[in-house]
């Protein structure tokens, strides 16, 4: 009986995935785009679509479908934040972080960037309610990635995520969440006072940034598209760092 239920569930998830893939293809081919957009919207508006979205991210071969699945996780989680358990919230963030680290060598750069952005937004949304140990666990994953102990691709993915996090916690570049300005300011102050200053001692160490430069030089020997993606990510990191410094000056 259990095997039959598992098979039915798998069939349901595959059906959803194929529907989303077809909608993405229809938009690209300009075939009934209004209906296709409605299909994509229905995914993000459906109650708790997380299982289906994770399945699409892990199983689909269509990059646009994975992009839409990541966007749906973000939209649904922010909408349902009040009814999600603390375990559910942490699980969604962990899933996104683990996914981008496990697929760090992927050529689908815009999908990776989207998932990193979703993880950063959800971490920001729960920042004031997560206990210190939960925050430290998430940030430890990023610290480990940035040190390069898991390889060049993971290191660069960690830097990209940190850039997304800095951007989200800076009031001038944060994503609208339907929350008062005080929420964003409290998050910024908490990250700065409790975590960022201590982390910057390590992240700003010359050996880290020389490693980053070496990472870029190594990537120049890889495919042309991957090299362009690397250069763009580096530029975004510098811009995000500058935005944070400007916000820090205004608050002091």
Query: Which of 20-29, 164-173, 174-183, 225-234 is predicted with the least confidence, judged by mean pLDDT?
Result: 225-234
Q: What is the pLDDT of residue 75?
A: 97
Supply the pTM of this predicted model: 0.78
Give the span between the Cα atoms of 198 and 192, in whole angstroms: 9
Given a cut of 50, whether residue 212 has pLDDT beyond it is: no
32: left (phi over 0), alpha (psi -120 to 50) or beta: left
For the segment 223-239, the average pLDDT, to the nearest whole number, is 47
Mean pLDDT across the chain, nearest whole number?
83
Closest CA to 142 of 119, 165, 158: 158
For the segment 232-237, the average pLDDT, to the nearest whole number, is 48
For the segment 107-128, the average pLDDT, to the nearest whole number, is 96
Q: What is the pLDDT of residue 234?
A: 47
Give the span between the Cα atoms of 64 and 69, in whole angstroms: 9
């Amino acid at each position: 009986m259990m095997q039959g239920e598992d098979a039915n569930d798998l069939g349901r998830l595959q059906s959803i995935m194929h529907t989303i893939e077809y909608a993405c293809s229809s938009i690209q081919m300009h075939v009934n785009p209004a209906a296709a957009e409605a299909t994509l919207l229905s995914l993000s508006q459906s109650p708790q679509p997380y299982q289906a979205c994770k399945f699409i991210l892990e199983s689909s071969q269509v990059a646009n479908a994975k992009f839409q699945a990541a966007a749906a996780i973000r939209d649904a989680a922010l909408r349902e934040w009040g009814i999600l358990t603390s375990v559910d919230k942490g699980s969604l963030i962990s899933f996104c972080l683990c996914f981008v680290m496990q697929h760090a060598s992927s050529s689908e750069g815009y999908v990776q960037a989207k998932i990193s952005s979703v993880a950063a937004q959800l971490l920001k949304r729960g920042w004031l309610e997560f206990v210190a140990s939960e925050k430290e666990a998430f940030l430890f994953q990023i610290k480990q990635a940035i040190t390069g102990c898991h390889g060049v691709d993971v290191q660069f993915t960690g830097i990209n995520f940190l850039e997304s996090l800095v951007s989200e916690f800076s009031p001038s570049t944060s994503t609208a969440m339907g929350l008062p300005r005080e929420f964003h300011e409290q998050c910024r102050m908490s990250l700065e006072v409790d975590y960022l200053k201590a982390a910057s001692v390590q992240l700003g160490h010359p050996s880290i940034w020389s490693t980053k430069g070496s990472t870029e030089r190594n990537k120049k020997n890889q495919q042309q598209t991957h090299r362009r993606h690397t250069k763009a990510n580096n530029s975004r990191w510098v811009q995000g760092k500058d935005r944070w410094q400007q916000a820090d000056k205004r608050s002091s």
